Chain A
């Protein structure tokens, strides 16, 4: 029982770290590149406009998909490693 408890705690803290890392990327591409850092990226041109505009209207959405699939893949692996899958 105690073993189960510590395993669950380890599983949860690993999950939290993974979520935090993913959220950093999530915020960086949307709030960062798309909104806050846009003036800094104005020198880089993509398709007739600046990189910030591209991130705001295309790049962030594509990154979001990547984040979800990465997270799902890592969590499935973690579930299996810890024997906590269904």
Chain B
């Protein structure tokens, strides 16, 4: 059976499953639409949270990033998992006890202020849109590479599928679809990892294979370090980020994770407070299965990639002898080769092969049939490899069977769709619940609110699809912004709201504004206005500045609160109440 047919079968089969679940789990009320009726068991919720959390970035890009930056990739590995510890202890149980639908609900009610609610709504919408554009793009890439349709058709197919189950089922539909999507995506990630690990190290478990000693008496990581220094790359296990930057970046990603609205909202869906705590644990187990495998996939992939391109004697392999995956990805523009020394062989080493980093293709072919470019650099490195192809190309590089490749394609689509659906729900909830119901027209009925939520979801899907088809050049840059915003505004506001009875409107609002303002200013200056790394404050990169913004938020909020009147009696008793689990069921009903 051909690869194309297999891919159609795997992706088509998974879509049929998602749609079936969506029809079975239609939402009839706002409670079902927003929080799945608050009745999702913790293990299922943990699985859905894991699928919601692990986006195209985790599935497609993370192993590629670790593969290319080695040790520094740990900031992402620890940052995107450590946040769940904060969620389990500092946020989830109390927000569940509070028993509302959204993050702006909590911020608005706790700080008895419309301004605070609006700031939270804006953060929620900006963060979620930033994320969702990237997901739609991920779907498009998979479709164009494996099904040979153009990216736009891929995005539209993805939109229709998400439309179906997000608009119909709301949180209830999304949650049960995500459970299925988790199973698809984790199989798609683990099966090739098992194959690779067996092939490279002889160990079944990739986590063990990475550290195991190979036939030549060395481990994969030692081999990698030697290969890297031979070719002029940084030592794989050393990395080149400074300690302070690693520290701040990890902290920003951890606190950002804990402050992301689409993650927090998942803990409103469980029946009891104790379920909120434990479901963060289940979510992390399901996430860790993938995240602890990532370093192994990254390491094996890197060795395979270097050895395939440079050949066993490290002298380069003739372009005409290159395996088909090399040429397929070249056609997609994610691999490029310029024969700088004119020997017809592909040679890969450190240095940017093309000026400005990315290849600029021209519309003709060279002597060996390669795609020609107009910006080959003076570096001796002849090859450009896009980080994002690592996971998708890995099975092909390692010559795994076709069905594994088809499975990986279905997994990548599942990862992108599950995250997109969760984000779209948060956006539509913010509009129908936080803006319409709570601010503009409080008199609408449950049924009308549900209609608004569905309309908002449709509009959000169309906007997301537009960004997927016409991606703004700044998608990669704004991801730093999403985490920075969450870490510097939402996270401190919620933590202070729970842990300080003294915190009042004035403190929270000024804290959020200072945190937001400083983080946005720093990121915009360095990402969009041409700031250079030597100007970084204390050597902290824009990705890590959310931590500074968060600290400023805490300090300003506490200072201002100490100089202004304490919050009203009734607010203080609400805080006392959310701190103890008893009575959560009643709290949910009103």
Q: How far is the CA of A67 from the CA of B288 in the complex (A)?
A: 14
Is A86 in contact with B90, judged by CB distance below 8 angstroms?
Answer: no
Main SS of the interface on chain A?
helix
Which residues of chain B (358-401) have a CB below 8 Å from chain A?
A: none
User: With A68-B284, A85-B274 known to touch, is A58 a contact of B580 (CB < 8 Å)?
Assistant: no
Is A86 in contact with B288, judged by CB distance below 8 angstroms?
Answer: no
Q: Which of the residues B71, B251, B278, B585 comes within 8 Å of A56, measured between beta carbons?
A: B71
User: With A60-B82, A64-B85 known to touch, is A47 a contact of B212 (CB < 8 Å)?
Assistant: yes
Which residues of chain B (67-96) have a CB below 8 Å from chain A?
A: 71, 73-74, 77-78, 81-82, 84-85, 88-90, 93
Is B222 in contact with A48, judged by CB distance below 8 angstroms?
Answer: yes
Q: How far is the CA of A67 from the CA of B81 in the complex (A)?
A: 12
Contacts of A50 in B (CB 8 A): 237
Q: How far is the CA of A49 from the CA of B212 in the complex (A)?
A: 10
Smallest CB separation, B10 vs chain A (Å): 29
Q: How far is the CA of A61 from the CA of B294 in the complex (A)?
A: 12
Q: Which of the residues A15, A23, A34, A47 comes within 8 Å of B210, measured between beta carbons?
A: A47
Is B579 in contact with A61, judged by CB distance below 8 angstroms?
Answer: no
Q: Which residue of A lies closest to B73 (CB)?
A: A57
Is A72 in contact with B81, judged by CB distance below 8 angstroms?
Answer: no
Is B295 in contact with A58, judged by CB distance below 8 angstroms?
Answer: yes
Contacts of B295 in A (CB 8 A): 57-58
Q: Does B458 contact A (CB under 8 A)?
A: no
Which residues of chain B (204-254) have a CB below 8 Å from chain A?
A: 207, 210-213, 218-222, 237, 243, 246-247, 250-251, 254
User: With A11-B580, A48-B222, A64-B284 known to touch, is A72 a contact of B211 (CB < 8 Å)?
Assistant: no
Q: How far is the CA of A48 from the CA of B291 in the complex (A)?
A: 20
User: With A12-B579, A34-B74 known to touch, is A64 a contact of B219 (CB < 8 Å)?
Assistant: no
Is A48 in contact with B284, judged by CB distance below 8 angstroms?
Answer: no
Which residues of chain A (19-67) have a CB below 8 Å from chain B?
A: 19, 22-23, 26, 30-31, 34-36, 46-50, 53-54, 56-58, 60-62, 64-65, 67
Q: How far is the CA of A84 from the CA of B222 in the complex (A)?
A: 54
Q: Does B581 contact A (CB under 8 A)?
A: yes
Q: Does B6 contact A (CB under 8 A)?
A: no
Contacts of A86 in B (CB 8 A): 272-274, 581-585
Q: How far is the CA of A30 from the CA of B581 in the complex (A)?
A: 30
User: With A67-B85, A68-B277, A85-B581 known to touch, is A62 a contact of B292 (CB < 8 Å)?
Assistant: yes
Q: How far is the CA of A40 from the CA of B580 in the complex (A)?
A: 42
Q: Which of the residues B78, B88, B584 comes within 8 Å of A71, measured between beta carbons?
A: B88
Is A65 in contact with B207, judged by CB distance below 8 angstroms?
Answer: no
* 15 other A-B residue contacts (CB within 8 Å) besides A19-B90, A62-B288, A64-B284: A15-B579, A30-B82, A35-B74, A35-B243, A47-B221, A48-B211, A56-B71, A60-B82, A61-B288, A61-B292, A65-B284, A68-B277, A72-B88, A72-B281, A76-B274
What are 24 contact pairs spanning A and B, CB under 8 A? Answer: A12-B579, A23-B89, A35-B246, A35-B250, A36-B243, A47-B211, A48-B218, A53-B221, A53-B237, A57-B74, A57-B295, A62-B288, A64-B81, A64-B84, A67-B85, A68-B278, A68-B281, A72-B274, A72-B278, A75-B274, A76-B277, A84-B581, A86-B272, A86-B583
The 3 closest A-B pairs by CB, nearest first: A47-B211, A48-B219, A56-B74
